Amino acid sequence: MIDLNEWLCYNIPPGPVFIPLHVIVNITKGTMMLYLFALMCYFDNFSTGAWIYLSLHGNYGFIWYLKDKTFPNPGFVREATFISGVFTPMIILVPYYYIGYWMMSGTEDYQRNPSMERCFIAI
């Protein structure tokens, strides 16, 4: 399993290694706040649920970036091939963006205004 992980994250041919994996992860997670706010504006969704989702996931991306700069993970500092650099976010990190899209584009009341219990659990 370790060999498969090594191959998927760093060595899918073709191409030389050129970009550290942590840069890809930081860009994906660090832009989440901008992405979610853009979706809020696009769908005109400024509900309580949207603001909670934005604050939780936006802050998570910011904290992730700070963690990476303060305590870098040696596994993520390694460079990956071009295909690995594209494959990793497409399979693992892009679904993270879809959940935000689903939340912000929702027209159902339970998507826009979660119950107080759901807000409590989320925070």
Quick check: is 16 in a domain?
no
pLDDT score at 42: 96
Q: Cα separation of 109 and 123, whole Å?
A: 20
Quick check: is 18 in a domain?
no
Quick check: is 20 in a domain?
no
- Is the Cβ–Cβ distance between 122 and 54 less than 8 Å? no
pLDDT score at 13: 83
Residue 110 confidence class, pLDDT cut points 50, 70, 90? low
Tell me the Cα Rg of the chain. 17
pLDDT score at 49: 86
pTM of the model: 0.80
Q: Cα separation of 26 and 42, whole Å?
A: 24
Residue-wise pLDDT for 7-29, tens only, equals: 777 778 887 888 888 888 888 88
Please state, for a pLDDT cut of 90, what percent of the chain lies above it: 19
Quick check: is 97 in a domain?
yes
Q: Cα separation of 120 and 13, whole Å?
A: 46
Domain range enclosing 106: 31-122
Is the predicted pLDDT of residue 32 greater than 70, yes or no? yes
Neighbours of 49 (CB within 10 A): 21
- Classify 75 as helix, strand or coil: helix
Lowest mean pLDDT among 23-37, 70-84, 102-116: 102-116
Quick check: is 114 in a domain?
yes
pLDDT score at 96: 81
Number of domains, the chain? 1
Quick check: is 9 in a domain?
no
Quick check: is 24 in a domain?
no
State mean pLDDT over 48-56.
Answer: 89
- Is the Cβ–Cβ distance between 83 and 17 less than 8 Å? no
Q: Cα separation of 28 and 16, whole Å?
A: 22
